[in-house]
Structure 1
Amino acid sequence: MSTIEQLTAFITTVESGSFSAAARKLGKVQSAVSQHIMNMEIDTGLQLFDRSGRYPILTANGEKLLPQAKAVIAQHHRLNQQVTALGSEEVLKLTLAIDEGIPYAKLIKLLPQLEILHPELELEFLCASSQDVIQLVIDKRASSGLIFSDNVYPDSLDFETLGTVKFELLVSTLHPLAQVDSVHIDMLKLHRQLVISSQGSKVTWFNQAHSPDVWHADNYYVLLELAKSGFGWTLLPEHLAQDALKTNALCKVPVQFEQLGWQANVDVIQHSSVQINANDTLRSLLRRLLQD
């Protein structure tokens, strides 16, 4: 059976590219790292690295073992974090960071249940774009985050999908795009696009620019007002635009090609090292957020 020290040396060597680099990262002598891996190879009966070149290269067996080793180490970290949490006083503050495009009005109606179960809890709410919410949770500035799904999350984050939100391609009823059916997507490129952005300016699937003329905002309410004023076309969560659609301040862009609207997954995320009992209660309540 491989030990935690052996698995750590194995993973760090793969990530660092050499035994010496792994030793520096782990604060050990190179011989100790090499010995851990040799012992692991003896214990498993497998050669994990090809050492014939200047740098060790994973063998086929090593490649197959790597994800399992990472899973064991991740679980070991979680165990240590849980032990630490059980031995400390309950944290009485919970910070929820929310993407403003997510329909969170129902959350207010769910909060009394959280208040009953955790009467001493101090709540804080932050609003930001989804990418900025992710960073807030990574930095542990927020206990949990409510965001539009990212394809890949850092290993330090846990996530759960709650449901979907519909986005629509919208424009002012007075805008040229509202006056005629667009035959192809290049018609949109002739007009300014209004795009959601993060403070870190990271481009993701939900803030991809299609037009060469782009204005950015870090929340959907600003995009809504810009679109209503005729400054360009944009993709907005349908629930935010309902009133503007009813009053004909906005309309769906008439198009003949495939629609640019989509159903966006909504995830709740939290840092795996943050152990707050109220977080579990909140996640349970959030599962009802997007239910009809």
Structure 2
Amino acid sequence: MSFRRNALTPDALAMMDTIARTGSFAAAARELGKVPSALTYSVRQLEDALDVLLFDRRSRQAELTAAGEELLNEGRRLLAEMEAVANRVRRVSTGWEAQLTIAIDDALSRRTLLELSEAFYALRPDGHPQGPGTRLRLRAEVMAGTWEALVSGQADLAIGIPGEVLGSPGIEMKPLGELQFVYVMAPHHPLASLPEPLDDLQIVQHRAVAVADSAQRLSPQTVNLLSGQDVLTVPTMQMKIDALLRGLGAGFVPLSMVHDHLGAGHLVSREVQRQRRHSRTHYAWRSAAVGHPRKAPQGLALQWWLNQLESPATRAALLERPSGLPTCP
């Protein structure tokens, strides 16, 4: 098995690509600066190592067999991946991380996050045509799950951490802003016809729709649920809004995510005696590379994202812009 693997060198794969692209052994030999016999010998060695026929010897042209076509396609993919790895390694050597993982609370604007990602990929540090070379990994979390992703090392940057979370050694935190919530339900829901403000005795008689905290190890948070109340738990804020549109319950949601639904009459908002109008949120990141003394404490990719979050306009867009609305059923 190892001798087959050893035969599949980058030079051998590049040779196959050149022969297929030029259409003949002679043309490929000229491009590679070799004599045709040397190229023919290299191909036979590769065929012997793989125990397959790569070219049809009955044709005057360099016509690939089915096995040759497969090797050519996979070889081109492998060469592209090796080039990409080399580019990323070069970028890492200049201070750009190989990967940056960003955890964002599900209530914040996904559209803004993707616009920031687009701007990041458009960077051309040192004139490099392929950008920073840092792989972005975005993950949506709910409530304590955003903080857990950071402290557990699963994320490098966490955006939308609840204000109730306490700090931790080695982690820096800054305020993101306040997220405004409203208590909403479908217009045909029983609570929609009651006079305001709604009290606990009225609310507890009807099902609440809640988003499950994504934390696995930390204690999950429960917000604005009453003891004894029936609860429909869903995995995302968008699914919560879909459930509210169908009249499956009532609940608090970010105003930015239902603004258009409220304007169109698909949902209605009601004042509640215990209403929590705002939720303070933060963003946080690791201030030191704990356990990795040879790694820079803050890479250039993380620095770029932190610079964007310094902008009041960016923070406001994450908090106030709708994340996209579903079609009303």
TM-score (norm 1): 0.62
Partner of 2:200: 185
Question: Are positions 1:140 and 2:157 aligned together?
Answer: no
Query: SS of the counterpart of 1:91?
Result: coil
Which structure 1 segments of 5+ residues have no match? 1-86
**Separation (CA, whole Å) in 1 of partners of 2:260 and 2:149:** 31
Query: SS of the counterpart of 1:207?
Result: coil
Partner of 1:103: 109
More strand by share: 1
Partner of 1:291: 316
The one of 222, 225, 236 aligned to 1:219: 236
**Separation (CA, whole Å) in 2 of partners of 1:106 and 1:189:** 36
Partner of 1:158: 172
Cα deviation for residue 224 of structure 1 reads: 0.6
**Separation (CA, whole Å) in 2 of partners of 1:166 and 1:270:** 24
Cα deviation for residue 114 of structure 1 reads: 3.0
Partner of 1:175: 189
Which structure 2 segments of 5+ residues have no match? 1-92, 126-130, 290-297, 318-329
Partner of 2:267: 250
Count of residue pairs brought into register by the alignment: 204
Partner of 2:302: 279
Q: Considering only aligned residues, what root-mean-square deviation do their CA atoms show, in Å?
A: 2.6
**Separation (CA, whole Å) in 2 of partners of 1:188 and 1:89:** 54
Cα deviation for residue 207 of structure 1 reads: 2.5
TM-score (norm 2): 0.55
Residues 1:211 and 1:242: Cα distance change in structure 2 (over 3 Å): farther
Partner of 1:210: 226
Query: SS of the counterpart of 1:278?
Result: helix
Letter of the aligned partner of 1:149 in structure 2?
Answer: P
Query: SS of the counterpart of 1:270?
Result: strand
Structure-to-structure mapping, 1:58-69, within 5 angstroms: none
Q: Which has the larger radius of gyration?
A: 2
Are the counterparts in 1 of residues 144 and 220 from structure 2 also a CA contact under 8 Å? no
Residues 1:251 and 1:243: Cα distance change in structure 2 (over 3 Å): same
Question: Are positions 1:235 and 2:252 aligned together?
Answer: yes
Cα deviation for residue 220 of structure 1 reads: 0.6
Which stretch of structure 1 is more off in the superposition, 147-156 or 90-99? 147-156
**Separation (CA, whole Å) in 2 of partners of 1:233 and 1:191:** 8
**Separation (CA, whole Å) in 1 of partners of 2:144 and 2:170:** 15
